[in-house]
């Protein structure tokens, strides 16, 4: 068997049924996610060839490629999904490396959903613990070393002993991770915390296992320097086009049907700092769309994030991206966009760079103008905004509520979701050790609660029109089941909103007791609704 096993828990190691957005469903407390929904809809099993996963999360593919580039053989390294871990580990295993996103349920979306729902362990946390129970007991038997890395590694500080973690790895893997692995294999001392060095672009190897949902990275880092952000601490780079196309072709050749670009802001591709590069972004989309068509793959190219200021600087590029892919009201795109706050004071203090080249006081208008541009181009964004900046005043929350009202009155199509601020490890605010308000909804100021409700209400209304466009599943029965589940989720959101509007203590008094995890509870609470609507 292999010397080095690479894996992740089931909330990370899945294809989310082709819809990465389903990953957010796993951020809910597991008592609110029926097992059937979690394991068959949100996080289905990844197929394998023998023990090896047929595809894997992109970051794990990169780690595997780095080990092979550093001299390990393919037989030395195997990527296995969590259900195969117990079979893959034996007396030959020397290293088990685990990629983590949200192992303790502290990522902003999870943190917020837990607070809104009245607490409880999230599916992400549950799955991490399940995996670590298996790894820990096998470690006692075989004595291998455990390395844990990935964006959620900060959540595990102080838990190393509990989970049997030998090395907590932060930062970029390509250069440093293979060195750490070699040291461990040679029996050398390795510090408990390792920070991976930034990797020059020419030292980042191409993936050799296809990536889940066709994800391929186009930029790394972000130059806007928002104080609550982790990726901004990484040096900003854009990957050369030939590297991107090689990875896409590799995926397509190996049975992956989609193309999705990983970036903190798709319009930053090819930028020099914050000097945007219109030609580079246009060329990227032209080349990738042509490639997709040549391979007979869908020519709607997914991308995760974009920013309002970039869009207003590169208005022509937003239109170009829409035209070249043929986006329409029936086939729109759904990027995630940070709105963060409607208060220029908060912008100036915590995320001045996000408004660049404009000033903090221009921010509300930047958001409204960008929203119009997005919607005119069939981009229906999910705007997220932050509740809980350490010194946020009632006036700051009122400014954000007013901005949401402006979006509504302009006919904005998309979502506006509040996120409770949590000082993620490695961010500027975490380093400053500031005081944060309570994550208990009832303890927030009335203005903060009103601000949360304003965004949730607009999201609920727009979800009704957008649900059908988000759920694009060919199988008619599955499509109807998913649509009915979505409609049930929107009803639940509306009932949460009206409950909290009446009395914020309802979260602790009532919502905290809801449990639809078991098949019995599911049958009682959800199935009649689904069946009725079929």
Looking at the Cβ atoms of 354 and 457, the one nearer to ligand SF4 is 354
Distance between CA 93 and CA 2 in Å, rounded? Answer: 6
Residue from 84, 100, 148, 222 in contact with ligand SF4 (CB under 6 A): 222
Q: Is 335 in the site for ligand SF4 (CB under 6 A)?
A: no
384's enclosing H/E stretch is: strand 382-387
Q: Is 468 in the site for ligand SF4 (CB under 6 A)?
A: no
Residue from 10, 114, 224, 457 in contact with ligand SF4 (CB under 6 A): 224
Q: Is 10 in the site for ligand SF4 (CB under 6 A)?
A: no
Distance between CA 318 and CA 376 in Å, rounded? Answer: 10
> Reduced to 3 states, what is the DSSP secondary structure of residue 467?
helix
Which listed range, 25-33, 107-115, 147-155, 220-228, lies at the site for ligand SF4 (CB under 6 A)?
A: 220-228
Residue from 29, 149, 152, 231 in contact with ligand SF4 (CB under 6 A): 231
Burial class (CB in 10 A: 0-12, 13-18, 19+), 425: middle
Residues 254-293 that bind ligand SF4 (CB under 6 A): 264
Distance between CA 168 and CA 187 in Å, rounded? Answer: 17
Which listed range, 130-138, 223-231, 290-298, 384-392, lies at the site for ligand SF4 (CB under 6 A)?
A: 223-231
Looking at the Cβ atoms of 295 and 334, the one nearer to ligand SF4 is 334
Distance between CA 80 and CA 131 in Å, rounded? Answer: 12
Q: Is 106 in the site for ligand SF4 (CB under 6 A)?
A: no
Which listed range, 176-184, 229-237, 435-443, 507-515, lies at the site for ligand SF4 (CB under 6 A)?
A: 229-237
Distance between CA 234 and CA 94 in Å, rounded? Answer: 30
Specify whether the CB–CB gap between 366 and 312 falls below 8 A: yes
What b-and-e string marks burial along 435-459, b requiring 16 or more CB atoms within 10 Å of the CB?
eebebebeebeebbbbbbbbbbbbb
Supply the Cα-derived Rg of the chain in whole angstroms: 23
Contact map string, positions 140 to 179, toward ligand SF4, x by CB under 6 A:
----------------------------------------
Residue written as token pair 């009532």: 510
Q: Is 414 in the site for ligand SF4 (CB under 6 A)?
A: no
Greatest Cα pair distance, the chain, in angstroms, is 64
Residue from 216, 229, 392, 419 in contact with ligand SF4 (CB under 6 A): 229
Q: How far is the CB of 310 from ligand SF4 (least distance, A)?
A: 9
Q: How far is the CB of 16 from ligand SF4 (least distance, A)?
A: 22
Distance between CA 531 and CA 487 in Å, rounded? Answer: 13
Q: How far is the CB of 107 from ligand SF4 (least distance, A)?
A: 14
What is the Cβ-side half-sphere exposure of residue 213, based on CA atoms within 13 angstroms? 26
Structure tokens at 517: 């995890």
Residues 348-407 that bind ligand SF4 (CB under 6 A): 351, 354
Residue from 7, 219, 307, 459 in contact with ligand SF4 (CB under 6 A): 307
Distance between CA 411 and CA 415 in Å, rounded? Answer: 12
Count of residues touching ligand SF4 (by CB under 6 A): 12
Residue from 226, 284, 311, 421 in contact with ligand SF4 (CB under 6 A): 226
Residue written as token pair 């854009």: 238
Structure tokens at 296: 């007979």
Site residues (vs ligand SF4, CB under 6 A): 222, 224-226, 229, 231-232, 264, 307, 338, 351, 354
């Amino acid at each position: 068997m292999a010397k080095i096993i690479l894996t992740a828990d089931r909330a990370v190691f899945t294809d989310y049924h082709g819809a990465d957005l389903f990953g957010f469903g796993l951020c809910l407390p597991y008592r609110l996610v029926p097992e059937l929904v979690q394991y068959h809809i949100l996080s289905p099993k990844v197929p394998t060839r023998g023990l090896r996963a047929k595809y894997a999360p992109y970051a794990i593919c990169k780690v595997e490629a780095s080990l092979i580039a550093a001299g390990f053989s393919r037989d030395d390294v195997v990527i296995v999904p969590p259900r195969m871990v117990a079979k893959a580990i034996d007396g030959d295993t020397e290293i088990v490396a685990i990629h983590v996103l949200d192992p303790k349920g502290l990522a902003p979306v999870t943190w917020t959903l837990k607070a809104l729902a009245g607490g409880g362990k999230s599916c992400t946390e549950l799955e991490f613990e399940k995996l670590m129970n298996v790894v820990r007991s096998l470690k006692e038997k075989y004595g291998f070393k455990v390395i844990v890395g990935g964006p959620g590694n900060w959540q595990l500080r102080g838990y190393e002993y509990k989970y049997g973690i030998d090395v907590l790895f932060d930062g970029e893997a390509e250069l440093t991770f293979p060195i750490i692995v070699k040291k461990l294999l040679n029996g050398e001392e390795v510090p408990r915390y390792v920070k991976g060095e930034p990797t020059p672009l020419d030292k980042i190897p191409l993936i050799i296992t296809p990536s889940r949902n066709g994800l391929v990275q186009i930029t790394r880092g972000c130059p806007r320097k928002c104080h609550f952000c982790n990726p901004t601490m990484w040096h900003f780079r854009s990957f050369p086009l030939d590297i991107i196309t090689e990875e896409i072709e590799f995926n397509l050749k190996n049975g992956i049907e989609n193309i999705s670009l990983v970036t903190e802001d798709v319009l930053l591709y090819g930028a020099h700092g914050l000097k945007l590069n219109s030609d580079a972004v246009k060329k990227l989309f032209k080349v990738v769309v042509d490639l997709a068509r040549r391979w007979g793959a869908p020519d709607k190219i997914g991308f995760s994030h974009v920013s309002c200021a970039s869009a207003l600087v590169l208005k022509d590029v937003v239109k170009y991206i829409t035209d070249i892919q043929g986006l329409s009201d029936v086939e729109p795109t759904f990027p995630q966009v940070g709105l963060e706050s409607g208060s220029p004071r908060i912008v100036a203090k915590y995320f001045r760079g996000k408004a660049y080249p404009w000033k903090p006081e221009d921010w509300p208008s930047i958001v409204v103008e960008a929203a119009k541009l997005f919607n005119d181009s069939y981009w229906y964004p999910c705007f997220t905004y932050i509740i809980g900046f350490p010194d946020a005043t009632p006036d700051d929350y009122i400014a954000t509520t007013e901005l949401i009202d402006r979006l509504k009155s302009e006919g904005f199509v998309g979502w506006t979701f509040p996120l409770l601020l949590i000082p993620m490890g490695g961010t500027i605010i975490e380093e400053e050790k500031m005081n944060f308000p309570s994550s208990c909804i009832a303890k927030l100021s009335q203005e903060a609660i009103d601000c949360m409700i304003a965004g949730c209400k607009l999201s609920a209304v727009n979800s009704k029109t957008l649900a059908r466009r988000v759920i694009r599943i060919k199988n008619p029965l599955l499509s109807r089941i998913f649509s009915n589940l979505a409609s049930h989720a929107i009803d639940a959101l509306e009932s949460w909103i009206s409950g909290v509007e009446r009395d914020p203590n309802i979260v602790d008094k009532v919502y905290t007791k809801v449990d639809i995890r078991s098949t019995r509870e599911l049958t009682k609470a959800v199935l009649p609704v689904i069946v009725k609507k079929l």
